[in-house]
Chain A
Amino acid sequence: MATGEIVDTHRAHSPIEAEVGATFGQWLGDRSVYWSNPRHAWIVTGYPECARILEESDNFWRDIPQREGAHEFWGRHLLILEGRDHRRMHAVHMQLTGEAFAEGIREKAREIARGVSSRLVRQGRAELAADYADTVPFLIGCDFLGLNAADAALTETLLPQMKIRAKWKEALHSGDGIPLNTKIAQDGQAALKTMAAVLLPIIRDRREDPREDLISAIWRKGPTIFPDWNEHDVLSTIWSSLDNETKPLLRGLSYTLCRDPELQGRLRRDPSLVEGFVEEGLRFLTPFRTIRRTARKDVDIGGQTMRGGDAIYVITPLANRDEERWACPHAFDAERSQQSTHLAFGYGPGYCVGRYVGRVEAAEAIRAMLAETSMLSLDAGATKPEWAGEMYHSVSPIHAILQR
């Protein structure tokens, strides 16, 4: 850049900013850490305080293992383990699904996403939340796990059952959880049983006849953490490949594109901008938006004193709007340079082990949809999209018109 050259860095704000911002209203308080009587919990919205809570597991406990139904839901899973067992499992997850793995699945992810996009574009219309955002990561996960997504019986069993399981997961994690005798938990247990009946024979097969897939790799690595590693541990480990935060992220990104034809044009002209669009989507939308913790002991934080046993809500999307870390943080700027670590993948010991895979899945899904279309737009005559969800926050339905 020549000296004295004026660079206009202003970009028109995205059409989604106001409506996404409005969804935070319930969490805003007069301080970055405040007590909520209705929630009977501390609400934490400041970046330094959110980061500290997620980092200091000695002071702030993830109480999921203690919740009714957590062990039935998760089995011997990363979210249940603590201390050294958690660290070892975390490391193995990252070894198995780190950057090299994610780059290894990129081409197949692109092929799968192009296939789904192409089919939807031929129809001319689609409900992008269910038909695309929820479907593409599932199919990519099936592929790298070694499940045959072309087997209609398999996918027609798994897809609807995963949705039932997801409802239980949301209820289990939100607030204080949900009793096992409720309908959501009962339905969830039945869904797990149905899916286990389909998946366990495949998992057993990979133990006897390993292949180049993630299930086989999990069989190889699992016993390095627990010598008594078994088929149920493998099953517990693979859920996150089939149902994860990439889905709500992709819903939000798809919707953002539908609302912003100019952004679509920029990304089509230069597909290398898609990674930045995904990263800004993670920061701005932060689909995993409330993280629960419990204070283990009395702790001073953000000018407040939390007492041992107090419940805490960490509101990550508000932390991701810290004005000291991001310029104009309430603006959605797909070409923003991310100067700080956003909290969309968590922080500290629970830092997301699927971040590489999630980024690849999201980027390839967006690139594929843009490549297959000349314009995406919301179907004005269809049911209007709504943002919803306390833990996973996303938008649906996204009835869209897809122009070739």
Chain B
Amino acid sequence: MKELMQSARQFAIPTLAAFLLGGAVASALAAEHTIRQKGKVFSAGELAIKKGDTVVFLNDDNITHNVLSITPGNDFNLGAIGPGNSTPVTFTRVAVVDIICAIHPGMKLQVKVAE
């Protein structure tokens, strides 16, 4: 029994370490993209990213914005975010995600998430 436990411990610790290290490497490889909102315009109309990348929505405008995904299955609503705030959104699946500002629907962004 003692040997079994010892063996399990020897297996579990390296496994956990490898698992978490793998996650850290994947995280380190993921890119971060910033989308600004100054002048009621997203700083890009289209954004091509890879699965696992993060898009940071930075409100550098002088009014409140409400970033909202309108793509079913990739829904998110950042809520009303005032000037001088940023929120990261990580996309974990391959998808094409249409994003607007709920307040200012003329602000449109399409995020294309690839493998």
A binds B: no
